[in-house]
Amino acid sequence: MSDNIEQALDNLVTPHGSPALNILLLEGEMLENALKKAETLPSVTMSSRERGDLIMFGIGGFTPLDGFMNKADWQGVCDDMELKSGENEGLFWPIPITLSASSEQAEGFEIGDEIALKAEDGEIMGILTLEEKYTIDKEHECRTVFGTTDTDHPGVKKVMEQAEVNLAGRVEVFSQGEFPTEYAGIYMTPTQTREEFAKKGWKKVAAFQTRNPMHRSHEYLAKIAVEICDGVMIHSLLGALKPGDIPAEVRQEAIGTLIDNYFKKDTVIQSGYPLDMRYAGPREALLHALFRQNYGCSELIVGRDHAGVGDYYGAFDAQDIFDQIPENALKTKPIKIDWTFWCNACQSMASTKTCPHDADQHVKVSGTKLRKALSEDEEVPENFSRPEVLQILRDYYATIAKEDRAKVELKGASAK
């Protein structure tokens, strides 16, 4: 790596709670030996969410954590958004990162045991060295993290369905799963994004979080950030979603087409990360900022209903929560943007801060509205999305029989 790149890397925001990324992914001879050992160990099968979390440990996305949380940290994160044990005591963290096992399995494990961590397809993904076994009040986690215990909430449902006992301990990670191959050129580790930013000479970098193909409001948000930053990373979630959300490979194609046709060259890059959505609204917005700090981003774009679902959160709760945490909790700061929409009078995208016209001139766009229109084969107004993007999405929905399409309901901020 050249001296110029090394210097440019030093100009990026430092990782969360650490001067360097905490990368737990094994390579070479260490990986070979660990894999052989893991085949002889008792094992736990991880959920999709836990698997994504393990990969983030491996690539340094959850720096400075070195494994799944113990009970003190679980309690501290739920109640105070703060780690409570070890060398990271007092460090800000907004959502528990935990691993669960059945009571029967947990009874067979002793403190100090090494446990192989398997994906649902049987792949051995890593080893956990057991430091603690504990039970939790699942409803308490849901109330504090999601603000509800309603099992219609997809994040709540996952927590309530997880196994009875949490297993805490340091991890060694063997694999990044299918992400580097299935999403080659899109999936990037924090090390890779930092190097990419450095090569481009970017210091002030905004992350744009998305689990949807980008519509006109998303495009507008990203372009606002381009105006005030050196560059924008459009960062797509590549893990599991809820029924009715559009798969990662379709989003990837749609976003790439949008970038090629409607953004100036070298102002944005598209990337992806391996987590499942938790749909935790405000708390998840904080987690998004935290791990984007690890990816090298100094800003996170936070628009309407960030990481929300249904009508569980207010339109701007995810912005307000950044004002409720200590000022030094995160180095990555929010770029807060108001309602954005197409204004028929302005004949352009605008926001409530810039447009003087009445609401009857505004066409409010949301990913949910777009998915609903496409899933029901309705006409989509041209001011909702770019035509090249719409064609990709229509082609995708054409592959799904109408009776097999998930019902999309308009609730909360997305219905306005």
How are beta strands 165-173 and 124-134 bridged, if at all? antiparallel
Residue of 51, 211, 304, 371 marked active site: 211
Could you tell me which of 245, 246, 255, 193 has the C-alpha nearest to residue 218? 255
Report the 3 state secondary structure along 131-194: EEEECCCHHHHHHHHHCCCCCCCHHHHHHHHCCCEEEEEEEEECCCCCHHHHCCCCECCHHHHH
Beta bridge partners of 234: 208, 270
DSSP code at position 245? S
CA distances from 192 to 118, 171, 296 (A): 26, 22, 10
- Local structure of 240: helix, strand or coil: coil
Asked if 211 is an active-site residue, the reply is yes
Place of tokens 């997880």: 162
User: Crossing angle, helix 138-146 and helix 71-80, to 10 degrees?
Assistant: 40
Q: Spot the catalytic one: 22, 70, 88, 212.
A: 212
Q: Would you call 212 a catalytic residue per the annotation?
A: yes
Sign of CA dihedral 281, 282, 284, 285: positive
Residues designated catalytic: 211-212
